[in-house]
Structure 1
Amino acid sequence: MPTARWPAAACAAGNRAAIFRRGLRCRTAATEGDMLPRLRLIKPPNPLGFALTVSVVYAAVSLAWILLSDDFIAAVARDPQQLTLLSKIKGVLFVLAMTIGLGVLVYRLACRRAQLANALLAVREDGVTGLPNRRVLEEALADRCTQTHGSADEFGLILLDVANLTRVNTGLGRSAGDRFLRAVGERLHGLVEATELVARLEGDIFAVLLRQAPTEGRVRGLADAVAAALATPVEIDGVALGVDAHIGLARAPADGNTPAQLLDAAMHGLQAGKRTGRRNTVTTVSAYGGNAREPLEREGALRKAVRQGALEAWLQPVVSLASGQVTGAEALVRWPRTDGGITPPGEFIPLAEATGLIGDITAFMLERVTDWGARWHRRRHAPITLGVNLSGLDLQGDGVVPLVRRLLAEHRLPGQFLMLEITESRFMQDPHGARDMLEELRALGVRIAIDDFGTGYSSLSYLHRLPLDCLKIDRSFVHQASRVSGRRTLFGAIASLGRGLGLTTVAEGVENLADARLARDLGCDALQGYLVSPPLPAATFAERYLGDTPVAVPAITALGHTPARVAGRHR
């Protein structure tokens, strides 16, 4: 067990007394809850009662010894010289007896105090690293918050997450992982001043309490010091291990004035650093625009919007390059703001995936699309195909197929007028499981599209075996492809791949006539983008494109006629 990283001291906080003893350990894995009954069992007796008991026993033994021994000596001694000798022996025996008794008493008291200190250490010290634990950190934070309340004094809290601990535990075992954590704790302790506290919060997370104001210069200096210290590999069982860490910083009182608020703020800073992929750098919540409550408030608002049906499904038309008419649309989720604006999907879709709300959003979009598709199908001679995006979590779950089957049956919509779109990167997370699900969906008549093709790392062998109908070429290859030769080459290669596989090819992100003309010349079947229309509310979309007579899009008809190619792969 390592030596504790906090000095011997006695401190009081309110009515609490904490004893810190260097070198004392409780060699068990007991939790704080387990230790409290033991603390009650080893609680010392009442001091006054204990003192009176000892005094009475001492007085009784002494008086009995004096009275009995004097009578014994008087009866035995035959002359003054023998009386003197026996009196001396009596005194020596009395001192020896009292010394032994007092020694046993002091030893028992010392054992009791050691047990108490040992038990307190088990409650307040991390058993792996020897550092203070969360309880000590929260008490120190509370004391510091009390000291600085109402003043201009500032202090800071740093949380450090050792990102590669799981890999160490898996590859070398938990014993090696414990030694790895001890080495990290020792390095952190060596970086800070004696007045600052280094603690192990939980699992792979360490905390550093900066008792002085964490100025920008000091934070940067600490970040550089942490990065330099952690850059040196730690050798465990002959293996040189790097230390990958994400670091979050909270400042008081700017980010909070209670221990819970500061811990939350530092944790949100840490998570913000994780999202950016930055390693061994200090990240604050304010650096990413917001306070510690903002992510939780946004999550709560999104949950409320999903529960109350406040989200909206907008439609962006897909136009056939052969006829110039709208033959389909992609449904895109929108989250209206209270100020009349729209929250971009890029701001809440990752949050929905992280919190598990994406499944509810997918169900909402499928419900809307199948309802609209069925109503439009019944009133229009040339019905359109509506597309809905599936997330990676949708592909990993088992609820999409039953949901689609139920919705198609309830709304009496033929499956061929529903297209489910997946990105190649999400498909490659579990290609075998995703393929099985797509086969089941295809059996319902649903069409399948690969969305944003070219931005991921899909295997062409998987692409060939998938039950696909449509390949949508990402806008990064289409936008300004008529002017940039490199994009034009990649655009043409992807379009040729789609044709070779017998798939309908759709060019996404088309914004000008030159790119539309290039898409036509490269053999694409359809296009989608702001040249035709931005995403529209469903009512506006229906009014503009779904009249009794099919409406041709002027911008596309101006390109001229091109022969239509059979859409989809023959099976």
Structure 2
Amino acid sequence: MTSIARAALRAQGREPAPAPPSGLTVALVGLAASDAELIERLLRRARGSRYRTLRLERPDDTTSGILRGEIDAILVDGGAGDIPPALGAGSFASAFGVPVLLLVDDWRPGRETALLRAGIADLLEKEELDSERIDRAILFAVARARSAMPQPAVARGDDPWTELRVLLARAVAAHGRRGHGFALVLVDLGAPGVAEETESWQRMRTILVQRLRSRLRRSDVVLEPEPSRLAVLIEDLPNPRDAITVACKLERALLAPLPFANGRDPPAPALAWAVYPVDGTDPDRLLGIAETLLFPGHSAGASPQRFACSALDAVYQRARRLAPAFARALDEGTIELGLQPQTTLRPGPIGLGAVPCWRPTADVALCGSELREVAALVGELDRLTLALAHLAIRQLARWHAEGLRLARLTVPILSRRQLARSDLVERLSASLRESGVPSAALELELQPNQLGHDGAEIGEATAALASSGVRLALRLDRQGPPLPLLARLPLGTVRLAAELLAAAVDDHRQKLLLENLVRLAHGLDLRVVAEDAATPELVGLAREIGCDALQAVTVAPPLPEAEARQWLLRAHRRRPE
């Protein structure tokens, strides 16, 4: 709900309605039943967006929904391009920041100026409608309308925290509508008794504020309500645990060595985290929780870095303990390589999967998804991927020197956008050339969410992969990706998620779908590997539908180098070249 709508309701003595679930509500005004059904069908297909629709007869019917903040955009029937007077620039909808889009049968050129003057956000021709077009038009129209809305003035009276309270109220309204979270962080730059006006303290404070801002996104907000206090608003957190990753990043920045001019170390800053909606949905409550978290550190002389939520704090404290040692392990190259056999189900090439392992203590080992979670929390996914890939290349080089040929060793890309935004492919290609290992022996595994829509996320990396000879392994699950990508990407392997196999056990249609998917992959000269087939029933199904191999901990767990070498020797004896 916009700030103006909330103010109108407060003036009437009524509380705003609870924020609806994430997504946008579109009012369909004056549309014929067939047109409304078409729009609703296209919106259901919109990728990554969730819509609700309201069918209304007249523009005036939108008034109550706009006032309650229940309508995000209006799509009105414009016939041959006529602009309904009630939906012009001075309309009720425009005053409340709700964009109006016009749906027309046949647009007559030359009326663009009239549209702009009338305040119509966009024009949609019925003959040219598709899911992507209408989704993009609505999203951009809503974004433009909200950014143009007047913001309430911030009172800057005697209370230095007023601006923060206003920002918190806005964040609660905005994130409640989107279904995302945000975090409020209070930072105390020094324990009581520090001489705040000394030159050394001011220098320390300036450097810490600069460090803090450098680790945040441009959308995040940093306020300085008091000389020794900072307040940070970390916005748009899809998952509450994302706040832990940010916390580890900020802690590294704020707690790095920073001696005073006289040689004494400054007091370590204290950080207190309150996360919406985990710790509450009321702005004053969130602020009070964060303030309370700082008090024990003040009274005991400690400098806490804490989350209000006990579950999040337990994960955070564990990540804090592991972070320094994990960073050293990456620096010193003590991450280990686990090698998981891909059990063959039909004649074909031999494959192994690379699994990262790390031993923080002699009796504790973190491997696979458990280590990936730690790396994600402490912001080291990119470095872990690179370390794992170089370990895999060195292992391939040793085997090739012994005459042991491996068709491919699959290395997972752990960071969501690492392939698209870094020079990973070029660095690995150079390492392969130096080691003398054929590029085709290395395979990079991607998850569907790393591709973006139609593979947009990996961008120019596709061309680099094609020229390098390094292939991709793409995991398929219920979320995608679109099947046309199988032909467009430089793939070597398709991996079927366990959920797809499980769904096909007792469902003939699902089984038929998987059989045809495997047939399609083989037609594109791709290898098909079934993931995590944990039961004999799933193993049998993977074999029946034509999978080439399966990779599952229950069938063949990751092996150290010596045992993997023996497995590879046995595989070569069974399958002479």
What TM-score results when the alignment is normalised by the length of structure 1?
A: 0.49
Instruction: Give the greater-gyration-radius structure (CA).
Output: 1
The structure richer in helix per residue is 1
What TM-score results when the alignment is normalised by the length of structure 2?
A: 0.49
